[in-house]
Amino acid sequence: MCQRAIYPGSFDPITYGHIDIIKRALEVFPDLIVAVGHNPHKKPLFSVKERFDMVKKATQGLKGVEVVDFKGLTVEFARKQKAKVIIRGMRMLSDFEYEFQMALTNRKLAPDIEIIFLMPQESYSYISSKLLKEAASMGAGLSAFVPDFVENALKNKLSGA
């Protein structure tokens, strides 16, 4: 039986949707690595260290969660961590095509690792980090979408503070 799974992402920034997926994954996998990726193709607002620190704070108190950052292919990282499962969040149909394509590619690269899709609660299914960054840049309150410390970090980052 597989005990360890990885939930990779950019988490730029972490949202209540991400946190919901983490809690759902812990119901199935008692050992969960939340892996903050160094993705050279994305242009994150927050540095890897800032994203790592936010994820660490958001998951403190959740038994079985380890937060790490990683570079390279997720499947290779999973192998190094002796994880046989990669968790991916699926919010809306718009996520499906990209996630399906990525899952099939990962299956070809690493047939020994399973990809499992989890859906967040409906109330979080439309939240995206990109949308929240746009809303925050226009002064929107984000307390329904992210923890207070993330909202403050977004406001500070976007104001140049």
Active site residues: 18, 42, 91, 129
Instruction: Report the 3 state secondary structure along the chain.
Output: CCCEEEEEECCCCCCHHHHHHHHHHHHHCCEEEEEEEECCCCCCCCCHHHHHHHHHHHHCCCCCEEEEEEECCHHHHHHHCCCCEEEEECCCHHHHHHHHHHHHHHHHHCCCCEEEEECCCHHHCCCCHHHHHHHHHCCCCCCCCCCHHHHHHHHHHHHCC
Q: What are phi and psi of 138, to 5 degrees?
A: -105, 10
Type of residue found at 2? C
| Amino acid residing at 124 | Y
